[in-house]
Amino acid sequence: MSKKLIALFAIFAVVAIFAAVRADDMKAGSNMGSWTGEVIDVACHSAKGAAGSGHAECGAKCVKAGLPVGLLVDGTTYLLISSDHKPLNDKLAEHVGHKVTITGTKFESPGANLIEVKDFKMAM
């Protein structure tokens, strides 16, 4: 597959997941709090299990190119979106492979996990 097709598919997937999670949230409520985990490139992690400092440089390039950015928490991947509906890729690309603490609202539904980010900081 071409990189453009993969990027288009990733964008479509993020929009579809966001819509599904928001609809489910209206029924089930949401969970505000803080979560600590590793910032990941969701595409490479989903396709190849890529994570950790060994994938940080490649993952940062993919996130800068527009692929979805996520947080890996105890084996669960959360897509990260901003609370002001602006992309987080530029802000989080340099943190791929690092542990951060995200503060925001978590939305979960079968097959879709999302955190609407209000703030983040490097984890201690």
Distance linking the first and last C-alpha atoms of the chain: 39
Q: What is the pTM of this model?
A: 0.75
Question: Which pLDDT value is given to residue 16?
Answer: 60
Domain count, the chain: 1
3-state secondary structure 77-99: EEEEEECCCCCCHHHHHHHECCE
Q: Domain of 21?
A: 3-122
Please tell me which residue, 50 or 98, carries the higher pLDDT value.
98
Banded pLDDT at 14 (limits 50, 70, 90)? low
d(CA 115, CA 26) in angstroms, rounded, equals 15
- CATH number for position 96: 2.40.50
